[in-house]
Chains A and B, each alone.
Chain A
Amino acid sequence: MKNTFLAVVMGALLVLGFVPTGHAEVGVTDTEIHIGQWSPQTGPAAPWGAVARGTDAYFKWINANGGIHGRKLIHHYFDDAYNPAKTIAGVKQLQEQTGMFAWVSGVGTACGLAVKDYLMEREIPWVGPSAGSRHWVTPPQKHLFNVYPLYLGDAQLLTEYAVTEMDKKRIAVVYQEDDYGKQGLEGAQHVLEQHGMELAAKVPVSISDTDMRPHTMKLRQAEADAVLVFVTPGHVARLLGTGKAMNFEPQWMSTTTCGDFPLMIAITKGLYEGVITASFGMAQPTGNVGGIEHINNPNHELMAKYKTEVYDAFAAADERWGYTFTTGIGLAEPLVEAIRRAGRDLTREKLVAELEKMENFQGLMGRITYGPYDPDDPLCRIGQQEIFLQQCTADGGSKILTDWQTTEFIPMSQ
């Protein structure tokens, strides 16, 4: 009796869930190229869902302009709610049923790591994971091409700037307890060691923390005058607010993920003014150091072009024009360029070959360079290593503080 019940349930679900797989397609037909992406459209990480929507609008724009060598880019993005179990389920389903030619972007280190082995074993190219994690290049994989500059570089450049340009003596780090935060801690410590200094305080933050008072109190006790913050934008906003209420106002510095100045100014009600963050693109610092940029009125040619042609034409009505949206475009550009260069006769091997030949390709982001595959050299798949620093102005604009700086790669200690 009991076994029949279980058998019935499982049988029903096998029938419902079973779809004939057929042979795994390469994802390219005469008229279509299938590209996949996972994205947190729901859940606490939902603000990052704009990345996939940015890529989607970008692909729609490309298709409206004739596609690539007569083929349209079909973008399959699904919601994984930042849950690696759902990511791997969705990737498997898309890969085995529809068959993806390649995967682009994809928010989340944990989510990406869950599918990395699956994709690499099947030699499926994956370009531009939307997280600056060292896991993508340790060890470098033949088919995984990183674009997002590592968070380590953010920490190094920010600390260097604080010590040399701003003459700060007591540097503290507030970090999330995961790969993102720990890279920040390591980068800051590495640079401080070179200057013979030490961290004034290291304050860990748990992702589910909503109350920032203990952390701010710790920082105030340590009398930090510059604080590097490696947490989510929500936490940064609360840290700044609590700090202001406690009359603790050091130089706050943060990473590319908290660099969406219009949004941050809005949620901190103007308190974000003066915060320095790292940035990986969307503006051109060369020859413009000291200039002011604003995302709503971009001086960068491509940004202005994308704003009118991609965002105004193809984005949803309630989509916000912001850095998350444009990151989706920036991370997809190298893949699109490589597909273009591969020509009409498109295979995965040719795509990889074209990506390896890419040198100093620049779209919205910085210069991206790959090299022939070498399992001992992470730099052959690291993509972009340069970032620049910007400072928030009162109306959500960015004051460019430095030119492009290339940061040193510190291998991950296993």
Chain B
Amino acid sequence: MIDFVQMTVSGIAVGSAYALMALGMVLIYKASEVPNFVQGEMALLPVFIAYMLIYSYGQSVFTAFVGALAFAMFLGCFLEFAVVRRAKNPNILGLIIITIGLEMVLLGFVSWKFGADQRVMPFPISSYSSVMFGNVYISTLDLLTLVAALVIMVSLFLFFRFSRLGVAMKATQQNETAARLMGIRTNRVKMITWGISATVGTVAGLLLAPVFMEPYMMWDPMLKGFAAAVIGGMTSLPGAVFGAYIVGIVEHLFGGYVSMEYKAVVAFAVIVIVLCVKPSGLFARHYVKKV
């Protein structure tokens, strides 16, 4: 019984990081209707910038992290403005290839600038300290990630509900032509959406960096985040978070009780099953497609 609880707790811990990536992907899918393959690298570059700020420019960890988040906002906006918007008559596959191309360019830059060796990111909370509930352990960093995921989800919810910009974003996602007619500058809204998504991803990256930091660190979280977003329905924010926790918990329970070799397999099998039962994801709401 203790093991079951421990595994669930670990699954929730790892699910939080996936949830942050999934949130980013869903945001961009709702805005630009493209599954964003550069999500991981949009987070990777600011994380390495934070590293550079700490080590080459002697900034404190706090300043460096804030700087990284600001850079992420700028990077997301820049990518949308300079590249994604320039696609003429974009069909979804073309946009996917553009994001893949961007991913390779950003990854190439980070690897070129920083080299391939694994790095160490200083962080006020040690990644080895843990909190104990009875016999069940959860590391402090995991707890922080969990809190961060929930805080971000709640703030995004409030943002979309109550702020003008958030409502404008929802309007753009539902019907772009109508939103334009109402005076919303949809191009700017999309740009900001990308910026927010990059920032959310960077939070995930900064929380993953103390454990493992090298140029390829974001591939696995991005993949799992994408899977989680698909399970939850690519258009639903709470769905994405829910999907992420499902993926994390199922993976851990299966790995602990049944078989370690196939634990990644079963997580993706769950996705296939969910999609067979509910093709647009668990929480998707259908918007009427503009003709």
Direct contact of A and B (CB under 8 A): yes
For B116, give its contact among A47, A204, A246 (CB under 8 Å): A47
For A210, give its contact among B111, B215, B221, B263 (CB under 8 Å): B221
Residues from chain B with a CB closer than 8 A to the CB of A214 are 7, 10, 251-252, 255-256, 260, 263
Question: Please, how many angstroms separate the alpha-carbon atoms of A292 and B116 in the complex?
Answer: 29
For A245, give its contact among B117, B129, B212, B255 (CB under 8 Å): B129
Q: Quote the shortest CB–CB distance from A289 to chain B (angstroms).
A: 31
Residues from chain A with a CB closer than 8 A to the CB of B115 are 46, 318
The answer to whether A267 has its CB under 8 Å from any CB of chain B is yes
A203 closest partner in B (C-beta): B260
Q: Are B118 and A241 in contact (CB under 8 A)?
A: no
For A269, give its contact among B116, B120, B220, B256 (CB under 8 Å): B120
Question: Please, how many angstroms separate the alpha-carbon atoms of A238 and B216 in the complex?
Answer: 15
For A267, give its contact among B6, B118, B130 (CB under 8 Å): B118
Question: Please, how many angstroms separate the alpha-carbon atoms of A233 and B214 in the complex?
Answer: 12
The answer to whether B274 has its CB under 8 Å from any CB of chain A is no
Q: Quote the shortest CB–CB distance from A103 to chain B (angstroms).
A: 23
Q: Which residue among A42, A206, A245, A269 has the maximum number of chain B CB atoms within 10 Å of its CB? A: A245
Q: Are B116 and A237 in contact (CB under 8 A)?
A: no
The answer to whether A20 has its CB under 8 Å from any CB of chain B is no
Given A210-B220, A221-B3, A245 contacting B139 (CB threshold 8 A)? yes
The answer to whether B70 has its CB under 8 Å from any CB of chain A is no
The answer to whether A30 has its CB under 8 Å from any CB of chain B is no
The answer to whether B228 has its CB under 8 Å from any CB of chain A is no
Given A238-B212, A246-B130, A269-B120, A46 contacting B3 (CB threshold 8 A)? no
Q: Quote the shortest CB–CB distance from A206 to chain B (angstroms).
A: 6
The answer to whether A377 has its CB under 8 Å from any CB of chain B is no
The answer to whether A247 has its CB under 8 Å from any CB of chain B is yes
Question: Please, how many angstroms separate the alpha-carbon atoms of A44 and B115 in the complex?
Answer: 11
Q: Are A234 and B118 in contact (CB under 8 A)?
A: yes
A214 closest partner in B (C-beta): B255
Question: Please, how many angstroms separate the alpha-carbon atoms of A221 and B6 in the complex?
Answer: 11
Q: Are B264 and A209 in contact (CB under 8 A)?
A: yes
Residues from chain B with a CB closer than 8 A to the CB of A213 are 10, 13-14, 252
Flag B231-265 by CB within 8 Å of A: 1 or 0 each. Answer: 00000000000000000000110011000110110
For A177, give its contact among B116, B126, B217, B261 (CB under 8 Å): B261
Q: Are B211 and A238 in contact (CB under 8 A)?
A: yes
Q: Quote the shortest CB–CB distance from B132 to chain A (angstroms).
A: 8
The answer to whether B127 has its CB under 8 Å from any CB of chain A is yes
**Total interface residues in chain A, CB < 8 Å:** 37
Q: Are A49 and B116 in contact (CB under 8 A)?
A: yes
Q: Are A267 and B120 in contact (CB under 8 A)?
A: yes
In the complex, which residues 311-337 of chain A have their Cβ closer than 8 Å to any Cβ of chain B?
Answer: 318, 320
For B128, give its contact among A209, A245, A318 (CB under 8 Å): A245
Q: Which residue among A42, A49, A238, A318 has the maximum number of chain B CB atoms within 10 Å of its CB? A: A42
B17 closest partner in A (C-beta): A211
In the complex, which residues 232-275 of chain A have their Cβ closer than 8 Å to any Cβ of chain B?
Answer: 233-234, 237-238, 241-242, 244-247, 263, 266-267, 269, 271
B6 closest partner in A (C-beta): A217
Given A213-B10, A213-B13, A241-B127, A44 contacting B118 (CB threshold 8 A)? no
In the complex, which residues 107-151 of chain A have their Cβ closer than 8 Å to any Cβ of chain B?
Answer: none
Question: Please, how many angstroms separate the alpha-carbon atoms of A320 and B116 in the complex?
Answer: 11
A201 closest partner in B (C-beta): B260
Q: Are B118 and A217 in contact (CB under 8 A)?
A: no
Residues from chain B with a CB closer than 8 A to the CB of A263 are 117-118
Flag B109-139 by CB within 8 Å of A: 1 or 0 each. Answer: 0010001111110000011111000000101
Q: Are B3 and A206 in contact (CB under 8 A)?
A: no
Q: Quote the shortest CB–CB distance from B218 to chain A (angstroms).
A: 10
Question: Please, how many angstroms separate the alpha-carbon atoms of A178 and B127 in the complex?
Answer: 29
For B137, give its contact among A46, A206, A237, A246 (CB under 8 Å): A246
The answer to whether A215 has its CB under 8 Å from any CB of chain B is yes
B14 closest partner in A (C-beta): A211
Question: Please, how many angstroms separate the alpha-carbon atoms of A114 and B179 in the complex?
Answer: 57
For B256, give its contact among A204, A218, A238, A245 (CB under 8 Å): A218
B255 closest partner in A (C-beta): A214
Q: Quote the shortest CB–CB distance from A321 to chain B (angstroms).
A: 12
B265 closest partner in A (C-beta): A206
Question: Please, how many angstroms separate the alpha-carbon atoms of A203 and B260 in the complex?
Answer: 7
Question: Please, how many angstroms separate the alpha-carbon atoms of A211 and B248 in the complex?
Answer: 10
Q: Are B128 and A244 in contact (CB under 8 A)?
A: yes
Question: Please, how many angstroms separate the alpha-carbon atoms of A46 and B115 in the complex?
Answer: 8
A324 closest partner in B (C-beta): B117
Q: Are B139 and A234 in contact (CB under 8 A)?
A: no
The answer to whether A164 has its CB under 8 Å from any CB of chain B is no
Q: Are B111 and A42 in contact (CB under 8 A)?
A: yes
Q: Are A217 and B7 in contact (CB under 8 A)?
A: yes
Question: Please, how many angstroms separate the alpha-carbon atoms of A283 and B177 in the complex?
Answer: 71
The answer to whether A414 has its CB under 8 Å from any CB of chain B is no
Q: Are A47 and B130 in contact (CB under 8 A)?
A: no
Q: Are B130 and A245 in contact (CB under 8 A)?
A: yes
Residues from chain B with a CB closer than 8 A to the CB of A204 are 260-261
A246 closest partner in B (C-beta): B137
Residues from chain A with a CB closer than 8 A to the CB of B111 are 42, 46
Q: Quote the shortest CB–CB distance from B224 to chain A (angstroms).
A: 9
Given A206-B261, A206-B264, A234-B214, A271 contacting B128 (CB threshold 8 A)? yes
A residues sitting closer than 8 Å to B (CB atoms) are 42-44, 46-47, 49, 177, 203-204, 206, 208-211, 213-215, 217-218, 221, 233-234, 237-238, 241-242, 244-247, 263, 266-267, 269, 271, 318, 320
- 11 A-B pairs with CB atoms under 8 Å apart are A47-B116, A47-B118, A213-B10, A214-B7, A214-B252, A217-B6, A218-B260, A234-B212, A241-B128, A245-B137, A318-B115
The 7 closest A-B pairs by CB, nearest first: A46-B116, A214-B255, A245-B139, A245-B130, A244-B128, A213-B10, A210-B220
Given A46-B115, A210-B217, A271-B128, 11 other A-B residues pairs in contact with their CB atoms under 8 A: A206-B264, A211-B14, A213-B13, A214-B263, A233-B118, A234-B118, A245-B128, A245-B137, A267-B119, A269-B127, A318-B115
B residues sitting closer than 8 Å to A (CB atoms) are 3, 6-7, 10, 13-14, 111, 115-120, 126-130, 137, 139, 211-212, 214-217, 220-221, 251-252, 255-256, 260-261, 263-264
